[in-house]
Amino acid sequence: MRKLTIRLLLISLFTVFFFSCKPYEIKGTAKNENLVKEYKNPYFSNPETDYVYKAHIEVYGNKLGGIFIAKRINDSIHRVVFTTEFGNKLLDFELSENDFKINYILEDMNRKIIVNTLRDDFRLLLKVNHPVEEVFENQDSFIYKAKDGKRFNYFFESRKDNKLLKLVNASKTKEKVIFEFVSKNSSFAENIIISHKHIKLKIELNQINN
């Protein structure tokens, strides 16, 4: 009886391990042999544009509202400023693929996990050029897979009008962060939602019309 119990336990543990390590894949897609070497995120690529949004952030039950401003300073660096609606600064970052500088952050937000998560979210949101490893497709989208350190980014581009609809940041086995975009044209996203799968953080950005 004891041997049977141990055997059943080992089988259960093996089953859990096997399915938890199953490689992440997007269901209902086929590989596209189109040789695309690079995907360009169009939404924050214009250095002549100030990208201004009304922002709403929910983090572990706490809610913050204000104004989010992003500006491409040069080919590699973006500046991000988040203020209250009255203009009081909450954070001011400069970031590129390899560099990160905090010009200012509110003391209550200056926690390592918050800073690092916002840094990674904004870095991915604003990065323009992504080397492509593979291309997939389904009925609605072309999906461009790009390596990002130990993770991968999947860009879902509409087959109909070439708009970037969604960006999924995933490990080898599961989704980590999902970026959803709503846009009237292919160069500016009016609405952006950033949702984390395993931590309680959600960021919503809505364009402020000039």
- What would the mean pLDDT of 23-48 be, rounded to a whole number? 86
174, 24 in Cβ contact below 8 A?
Answer: yes
Q: How long a stretch of residues is the chain?
A: 210
Provide the pLDDT for residue 125.
96
- What would the mean pLDDT of 11-37 be, rounded to a whole number? 66
The residue with greater pLDDT, 20 or 87, is 87
Helix, strand, coil shares, percent, the chain, to 5: 20, 50, 35
Q: Which domains does the chain have, with CATH numbers?
A: 33-207 (2.50.20.10)
Mean pLDDT for all residues in the chain: 87
| pLDDT grade for 7, boundaries at 50, 70 and 90 | low
Provide the pLDDT for residue 21.
58
Provide the pLDDT for residue 210.
58
Residue 4 has pLDDT above 90, yes or no: no
